[in-house]
């Protein structure tokens, strides 16, 4: 859960990037939403009310996209199964 010790040398931020940096541990993130998730997991005690809400919203929004992903994964599994089934039936 991103709790492991990482320092600046472990990151490779492109010169033209504008990373969202964690105010607590200075870790750079590609998107604001990932930063909100990181703070919720790793620095829950440092969050004020708005930030806690931001974490919860980011989590909910991610859950929705995760559900879509799961549907796609399930579809891919079914497809894979039938393609192989057909292949074995034909050859």
Give the footprint of another protein on this chain (CB under 8 A): 1-6, 9-13, 17, 19, 28-31, 33-35, 37-38, 40-42, 62, 65-66, 69-70, 73, 76-77, 80-81, 84, 87-88, 91
Q: Which is nearer to another protein, 49 or 58 (CB)?
A: 58
Closest among 32, 25, 31, 33 to 2, alpha carbons compared? 25
Question: Residue 56 CB, nearest distance to another protein (Å)?
Answer: 14
As a whole number of angstroms, the distance between CA 79 and CA 66 comes to: 20
Q: Which is nearer to another protein, 1 or 50 (CB)?
A: 1
DSSP 28: E
Question: Residue 88 CB, nearest distance to another protein (Å)?
Answer: 7
DSSP 56: H
Facing residues of 20 across strands?
Answer: 29
């Amino acid at each position: 859960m991103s709790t492991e010790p990482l320092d600046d040398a472990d990151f490779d931020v492109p010169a033209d990037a504008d990373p969202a940096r964690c105010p607590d541990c200075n870790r750079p993130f590609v998107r604001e939403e990932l930063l909100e998730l990181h703070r919720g997991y790793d620095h829950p005690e440092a969050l004020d009310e708005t930030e806690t809400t931001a974490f919860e919203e980011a989590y909910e929004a991610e859950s929705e996209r995760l559900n879509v992903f799961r549907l796609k994964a399930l579809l891919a599994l079914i497809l894979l199964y039938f393609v192989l089934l057909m292949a074995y039936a034909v050859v």
